[in-house]
Chain A
Amino acid sequence: MSAGSSADLTFDLRVRRVSALSVFNVAVLGAVVLVAFLAPLVAPYPYDAQDTDALYAAPSSAHWMGTDRLGRDLLSRLVYGTRTSLLVGLASAVVALILGTAYGAVSGYVGGAVDRVLMRGLDVLYALPDLLLIILLSVLVGRGVPGMIVAISLVGWMTVARLVRGEMLRWRERPFVEAVRASGAGHARILFLHLLPQTVGPLIVTLTFRIPAGILAESTLSFVGLGIAAPQTSWGSLAGEGWSALKFYPHVILFPGLAIFLTMLAFNLLGDQLRDALDPTTESRGSS
């Protein structure tokens, strides 16, 4: 950009686009969180109440999203499914963050042979696709919400560990750390008060990518019947039920599919924005 006015204009447009996207993100994610917390208030019916006169009913004023094969209200099931999906996504992301930070911090701070061994171990696990590992682990820990959280976080911590280790290596030898060490601070003090706080920014960005990854993993597994089992429900199991009724009752898969898509989109956009905001080099990466 050479002319000042045109640069100003682009900047202006970018700011406006970002804020329009932010409204979308906040609206979608806010709605998801609210619905999950207020499920009993929002849902018009109990999630397992059957209306045997209305099996596979199309959307109507009584059932805004229609009903499923047992005559259960799909809006109510989607509302309670939101609770499950968000819980699995959030909890697995937080556990993954804690595990990964511990592993990465030890590896990066101690360094040397310990670091090499820990990182090699990580490389091996990286050789398997996430979803495959999650399925294998879920054989061990069982299905249902706790099993899903454990299996997903036991896979998700790996990216966090690599990130935190990288940050440790980056900050470990800085003068301010040396100064703290010279003034007699112990390892725990250096680690917790001076090094780990440096990782907060990248960790927040990671969180915005781990939560949707957890939701997607749970949805995919539940969709193929390896995740949350009846009578509990989640977005993925609802979509799975919709899949088997796709030909004649396409409304069943429509709303859970839309919920997953919009949530993924909102998280992706939010993550991109946060990363750009926290990383001052994004704009000039090419020329530096």
Chain B
Amino acid sequence: MIRVIARRIGWGLTVLWVVATLTFLLLRVVPGGPFDTEKQLPPEILAIIEAKYHLDEPAWRQYLRYLGGLATGDLGPSYKYLGRDVADILWETFPVSLALGLVALVLAVVVGLVFGILAGERPGTGIDRGGMVVATAGVALPNFVLGALLVLLASHRWHLLPPALWEGPRSLVLPALTLGLGPAAYIARLTRSSLLDVAHHDYLRTAHAKGLTRAMVLFKHQLPNALMPVVTVLGPLAAALVTGSFVVEYLFAIPGMGRFFITAVTNRDYPLIMGATLLYAALLVIANLVVDLAYAWLDPRVRVE
């Protein structure tokens, strides 16, 4: 088990190194530099700026400098937020995104599982049909449309919740719903179909036959097997929450990493783009690792391999 974990961590570090190299290359071949302005800067000033950010060095020196910085947690200075390091900006904005993402994740898993189990446990009933119609619509609804709908109703019409900004738990509700409801719908559909897939197995008939209650059969026998596909999508789900978060942070003017990522792209603030990309990649690598471990814990067969 420990060897498996060590190998996975090694692979994760390889992924991060490749991502760092690719983003470095990508942003170096981009036409136009970060200091292109409407007005042409005098060459002397441009030279000073380039020297300050080591842009006058050959590419391989810049690359090595960047990797060296990475190893010590130094992501370099931001091009646009003068005097601030990328690491500082990420350090400040990341907790905001993390809080939003975690609340949305919990919401998605809890709502998705509850409705998925209710529907899958009694297929064909009203709650199954109604729930699945809502879930199918929910999967198809883009989060920016859902966000607009929620803000329009809950903030502008009924004045229940703030439409934007990041001030206290009340302002977390709408962003978390916007981010979490789509994945919740997806999990509900998946849980339902997964429960139905295992429903006809012989071991369930045996469990029923030996007189176990319906709840016992469901929670001890049917659900653990049905949950495997659900656990598998938690990795991709983390990716969905990450990418969803920059849209949602943009929508609700939340000072998180995602909003800074979007501004960094518009500003061509390359070090900030690279830093944010790496942090996103690291998060996903960790999320996938956790999913793999959970998988091994749930399914003894995986451990043997």
Cα distance A224–B264 when bound, in Å?
13
- Across the A-B interface, how many residue pairs have beta carbons closer than 8 Å? 110
In the complex the two chains form, what is the Cα distance from A246 to B149 in whole Å? 9
Complex: A117 Cα to B14 Cα, angstroms: 14
Q: Is B115 an interface residue (CB 8 A)?
A: no
Choose from A127, A226, A261, A269 the contact partner of B281 (Cβ within 8 Å).
A127
Contact (Cβ within 8 A) A127 B285:
yes
- Which single residue of chain B is at the shortest CB-CB distance from A258? B145
Task: Give the number of chain A interface residues (Cβ < 8 Å).
Answer: 37
With A140-B30, A224-B262, A250-B152 given, is the CB distance from A129 to B145 under 8 Å? no
B136 near A128 with CB under 8 A, answer no
Q: A220-B247, A268-B140 are in contact. Are A127 and B15 (CB under 8 A)?
A: yes
Contact indicator B140/A264 (Cβ below 8 Å): yes
Task: Tell me what chain A mostly uses at the interface: helix, strand, loop, or mixed.
Answer: helix
Q: Which one, B139, B144, B242, contacts A268 given CB within 8 A? A: B139
Within the complex, the shortest CB–CB distance from A287 to chain B, in Å, comes to 5
Alpha-carbon gap, A45 to B77, bound state (A): 49
For the complex, what is the distance from the CA of A16 to the CA of B154, rounded to whole Å?
Answer: 38
Interface presence of B94 (CB below 8 A) = no
| Distance in Å: Cβ of A148 to nearest Cβ of chain B | 14
- Tell me which of A62-70, A131-139, A187-195, A198-206 binds B: A131-139
- The reply to whether B144 and A139 contact each other, CB–CB distance below 8 Å, is no
- B interface: dominant SS: helix
The residues of A that contact B239 with a CB separation of less than 8 Å are: 129-130
Nearest Cβ on chain A to B200's Cβ, whole angstroms? 5
- B198: chain A residues within 8 A (beta carbon): 286
B240: Cβ under 8 A from any A Cβ = yes
Query: B19 contacts A257, CB within 8 Å?
Result: no
Interface residues of B in 241-261 (CB under 8 A from A): 242-243, 246-247, 250-251, 261
Whether B280 pairs with A246 at a CB distance below 8 angstroms is no
Other-chain contact of B200, A220, A260, A265, A286 (Cβ < 8 Å): A286
A–B complex contacts, Cβ < 8 Å, 5 sampled: A124-B19, A128-B19, A250-B152, A257-B149, A261-B140
Q: Given contacts A127-B284, A286-B201, list 12 more A-B pairs with CB under 8 A.
A: A124-B14, A127-B288, A128-B277, A132-B280, A136-B273, A139-B265, A223-B247, A224-B144, A243-B251, A247-B156, A265-B136, A268-B140
